[in-house]
């Protein structure tokens, strides 16, 4: 049975935000968008966790949304991150994204202030009622300090504006409970969990590794959808070490920015309080990239 937001099924990519001399690098941002369009990516997701949204000013956040929509030029969907621990701020950003032409909004659960489940419900309800574009609930308790419980997501699914869940809890049980009770489109928020989530009814991934090798993650999703489980499993195992290290060597997006630089697609340093990947970890990442078949640039 089709899910609520089937047009977002497949590969979405959580885009990095390119910097040059401390400022947003618009030229490189457009290049990154063009790279995804050429790969046939379904949707780009700028200004999320991978896009370093916590250290962007409000003006920068809006600028990246607007420039991403403009650069995509209808070639793929755009679902920017518009979440905040302030409901009023999340509503403002989500309204801006809608005005800018975004196709949906990726909204992380409120972080730091640790609201109750009722507070989380009211937060997302306010967003769903404020805009007409669909909302994707981004559940990543390792970042926010609060799980959005499956019962809360099931309740939110009663609202027509809530269309998707980016599932980054690592719990197949939680994902199964949501899928069993709703028609929400569930997308993996962890590259290495993509195949397991597809197997229980997930419809794709919002990917970090897709910044680097979108074609392979796209092929995994397509192989599964076509019933070619052997190829999907082969791609999962091929991608696993790369996916593990891009999210495990240091906080995202430190490793993916390092990896992009290594293969000649430098997007600039991360912003403080994040710092570049330490030399021993960078060497391990270089080895993983080489083993994958990518060709690192000379140091």
Q: Annotated catalytic sites, by residue?
A: 138, 166
Q: How many helices (H) and strands (E) does the chain have?
A: 12, 10
Tokens 């937060």, residue located:
123
Strand partners, 108: 138
- Is the bond preceding residue 204 a cis peptide, omega within 30 degrees? no
Q: What is the dihedral of CA 183, 189, 193, 197, to 10 degrees?
A: 0
- Tell me which residue of 48, 86, 94, 34 sits closest to 256, measured CA to CA: 48
Pairing of strands 135-139, 105-108: parallel
Q: Which two tokens mark 30?
A: 């457009």
Q: Which two tokens mark 170?
A: 């690592």
| Local structure of 208: helix, strand or coil | coil
Cβ atoms within 10 Å, residue 178: 25
* Interatomic CA distance for residues 84 and 206, integer angstroms: 19
* Interatomic CA distance for residues 80 and 43, integer angstroms: 10
**Alpha helices per DSSP H over 192-278:** 194-199, 214-225, 229-248, 254-262
């Amino acid at each position: 049975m089709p899910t609520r937001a089937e047009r977002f099924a497949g590969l979405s990519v959580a885009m990095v935000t390119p910097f040059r001399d401390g400022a947003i690098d618009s030229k490189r941002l457009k290049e990154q968008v063009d790279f995804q369009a050429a790969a046939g990516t379904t949707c780009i997701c700028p200004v999320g966790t991978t896009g370093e949204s916590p250290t962007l000013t409000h003006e920068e956040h809006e600028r990246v949304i607007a420039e991403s929509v403009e650069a995509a030029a209808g070639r793929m969907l755009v679902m920017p991150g518009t979440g905040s621990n302030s409901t009023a701020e999340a509503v403002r950003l989500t309204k801006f994204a809608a005005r800018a032409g975004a196709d949906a909004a990726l909204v992380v659960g409120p972080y730091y202030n640790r609201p109750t489940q009722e507070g989380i419900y009211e937060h997302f309800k306010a967003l769903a009622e404020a805009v007409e574009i669909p909302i994707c609930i981004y559940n990543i308790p390792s970042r926010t300090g609060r799980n959005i419980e499956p019962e809360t997501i099931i309740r939110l699914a009663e609202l027509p504006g809530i269309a998707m869940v980016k599932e980054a809890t690592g719990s197949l049980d939680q994902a199964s409970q949501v899928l069993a009770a709703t028609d929400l489109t569930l997308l993996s928020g962890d590259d290495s969990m993509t195949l397991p989530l597809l197997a229980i009814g997930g419809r794709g991934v919002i990917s970090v590794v897709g910044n680097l090798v979108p074609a392979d993650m796209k092929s995994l999703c397509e192989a599964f959808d076509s019933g070619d489980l052997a190829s999907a499993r082969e791609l999962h195992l091929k991608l696993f070490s790369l996916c593990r290290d891009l999210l495990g060597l240091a906080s995202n997006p430190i490793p993916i920015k390092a990896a992009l630089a290594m293969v000649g697609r430098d997007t600039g340093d991360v912003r403080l309080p994040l710092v570049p990947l330490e030399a021993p970890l960078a060497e391990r990442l270089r080895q993983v990239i080489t083993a994958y078949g990518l060709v690192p640039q000379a140091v």
